[in-house]
Each structure stands twice: as structure tokens, then as C-alpha cells.
Amino acid sequence: MCGLGLRVAVNGAQGFSSTSDFSRLPATAEAAVRAARVRGGDPDWKGLARPDVAMTVQGTYDPVLAQMEPEEVIQMAMQLLEGCASVSFAQPLSGGVGLSCGVEVIASSAGMDLREIGTACHGSLEAVSHGDTVATGSEFDMSRSHGLDMVAVGRKAAQMAASSRGGVAAPTGTFQVVLSPVAFADLLGNTFVPALSAESVQKGRSRLADKIGQIVADPHLSLVDDGLLPGGMGTSSTDAEGVSSQRTVLVDSGVMKGFLYDSYCAGKEGLHSTGNSVRGGYFDLPKVGLRNLLILSEEPVDILADLKEGLYASSLIGAHTGNPISGDFSVEARNAFLVKDGELAEPVRSAMLAGNIFQIMSELKAGKDSRAVGGIVTPTIRAPLKVVG
């Protein structure tokens, strides 16, 4: 997909328009100007980002991916099916492999002239397993370079489906619940991450707004947003406005240290952007967002080893319904299992989980593993949650 997004400023007012038809560039510019005039001036608008130094990043472009032929991609998809077929009583439901190679250009009347090329690859499969009962399972993986093990992705999806058949009723009460990286990243992204945005703070929508210098998480826990992480899904030399990418400490040993800023939000406070302007594509306005959020623990533990009784959730349904202002959530655990004496036991037919993300951040234990789930890199975690079976 190729296109252009144009942001203009007219007497302190911003306007935006985009197009994928380059014969319509004059009309696109006129539409952006009209939008600015209708919108009116903004006293907080401090102007376009100034030219910055593009940082050197590693692992964001793979020439092997860029030059792959369709036949090679089809073979990767066949490997998904091969992995699924290696598990008895499991069949594929849906899935796919995707590759991308693109060039992003950022130019402005302020003197910005940047371009960067990047690649990405992902594969996913959902499988179903039939027996006395029916269950499904899914798995995915993603990378900025080639070499993803698609056979393993297909096999893990099938194993999840097969191991989830049958099942028992979940207990009701407050229990230690283990959330996989996929489950925790989903919950975190929908409830806690919005509170890290300076935009949320400035609009009075962040519970962390007045917490700088205060303890907001377990003393062994740190959160860092790293736009320079080698091979990170959110890594690039600059952000969407051309501001240099950087490593920003948000929480250090449990203590709140700062927030994520783009140029607009930083200008409102007389600060410098943290390089956290992101956009979904040329058709979107840039806004504050994550690059690569790292969940780090100074004292990781073996999450299951000392757990006598609890619940394990592979993924969640409904995390998007969580309240990012209060932090409250109620979600359904998918592909969940009882934990007994440090090991996964029977699958659970259905379980609802409820809690508060800000309380969880103060009580959680982090595992020794780590997995990148989109723009969040997190270990498996354990925390007390309300369970309704």
C-alpha cells in the first residue's frame, strides 16, 4: 500500500488529509487546508517537529524477507499445516503468513527529510480438536527478519486445542492466577498503557497523573519504552514525526518516573518529545503511543514451581472492555488450566477473571521468561484475581 498523509498548519490550526492517488495531490493539500481553517487555532500548538538526528537501529530490515518470492511464502504457510498435522485429533481452522517491506518518508517545511526501510513477518494458526468434546487453540509469532519457526507455531496451536478438550469447572473465589505473556500484554495494553500517555494525563484520564516519584508497582518491577530495541516491532530510527527514537524509563524499581510524549503534548508542558509519536499508516494522524514497552523484573521467579493451587490463562477475551481510567476489568480466560502443586492440570471449561490493573502492578510476580507480543515485551506473571467459574 502506497500513499501520502499531509498535515498542515494555518494560523496555529492543524488540518490533515491523505490519499493513495498521487494524481490528487493538489486536492489533498486543499482538503488539509480547509480542515485547518474549519478547526480553528490551537494555543497549545507549538509548530512542527524540528529536524532531529536519526538514530542507528539494528534488526529492522532483512533483505532476505524483502526479496522473498510468493512460492517461498506459500511454503511457510504449508509449514503451519505441517506443525498442526503432527498433533493427533487436531485440524487447522484458519491461519496465514504475512510479509511486509516498506519505506517511510517524513518530510516537512521545517527542514525534515528522512526515509527508512523496514521489514516484518508474521504467522498464525487457529486449530480445532475433536474428541468427546471440541476445543480450539491458537498461536502466532512475528519478527522483523526471516527464520520464524512456522512448524512450531502450527504445532503449538494444535497442542493447545488438544489439551483444552474436556475440562472441569473453575473454582470461585480469589486465587493466584498466572497470565501468559499474550494474556498479560492484552490486559496491560488495554488498561495500564493508556495511563502512561501524556495525552491521558493532560486530559485528566490517567490514574498515574500525580504519581511522579511515588511507588506505583512492585519494587522489583521496571517499565521502559525502548524505540531503539534491536529487532523490536516498534523500533525505528525516529518516531512518526521525525523525532529521534530513545529509551524512556517510565517506572524504575516500582517508582513512577515519567510519561510518553509526542511533540504536541511535550509542547504543552515546555518539554521535549520522548519520540513516542506513532501512526497506523499514512492515512492516520500521529498520536502518542508505545514503541517497545519492556516489562523488567529485578527478581524473576519460577512462576509455577511454588504455586500449590491456582489458574493459568493462555489468553483473554474482552480485555478491550477494561476501564483504563479506574483500571477495573472483567475478562474471560481462554485455554485456561488449573494449577496444582506447581504443574498445569485439568483444562477449565469457563472462567471469568476480575481485578484492577493498578493493584496487580503492585502485587504481581514476574517469571523468568520473556516474549514480544506486538509492542509489549513481557514475562509470564502471577497475581491474585477474583475467579468466577
pLDDT given for residue 279 in this prediction = 94
Name which of 129, 182, 179, 127 is nearest 156 in CA terms: 127
Residue 226: beta bridge partners? 247
Torsion of Cα atoms, 298 then 301 then 303 then 307, to 10°: -130
Torsional class of 147: left (φ above 0), alpha (ψ -120 to 50), beta (otherwise): left
Neighbouring residues of 119: CB distance < 8 A, sequence distance ≥ 6: 60, 61, 62, 65, 66, 99, 100, 101, 144, 145
pLDDT given for residue 47 in this prediction = 86
pLDDT given for residue 69 in this prediction = 96
Q: Which residues of the chain have pLDDT under 50?
A: none
The 10s digit of each residue's pLDDT in 32-58 is 999 999 988 888 888 888 888 889 999
Name which of 38, 48, 44, 50 is nearest 9 in CA terms: 48
Torsional class of 95: left (φ above 0), alpha (ψ -120 to 50), beta (otherwise): left
Residue 48: beta bridge partners? none
CA 143 – CA 207 distance, rounded (Å): 33
The 10s digit of each residue's pLDDT in 215-234 is 999 999 999 999 999 999 99
Give the length of the chain. Answer: 389
Record: fold of 63-163: PmbA/TldD fold (3.30.2290)
Half-sphere exposure of 148 (CA within 13 A, CB side): 28
- Report which residue type is found at 389: G
User: Residues 256, 213: contact at Cβ < 8 Å?
Assistant: yes
CA distances from residue 310 to 64, 221, 222, 305, 339 in whole angstroms, order as listed: 44, 22, 25, 12, 5
Instruction: State the angle between helix axes of 150-163 and 70-85 in degrees (0 to 180), rounded to the nearest 10.
Output: 30
The 10s digit of each residue's pLDDT in 170-215 is 999 999 999 999 999 999 999 999 999 999 999 999 999 999 999 9
- 3-state class (DSSP) for residue 150: helix
pTM across the whole model: 0.94
pLDDT given for residue 132 in this prediction = 80
**Per-domain residue ranges for the chain?**
4-39, 63-163, 167-389
The continuous run of DSSP H or E covering 360 comes out as helix 357-363
pLDDT given for residue 53 in this prediction = 83
- Report which residue type is found at 78: M
pLDDT given for residue 42 in this prediction = 87
pLDDT given for residue 90 in this prediction = 95
Residue 16: beta bridge partners? 7
Name which of 142, 135, 104 is nearest 120 in CA terms: 142
pLDDT given for residue 259 in this prediction = 99
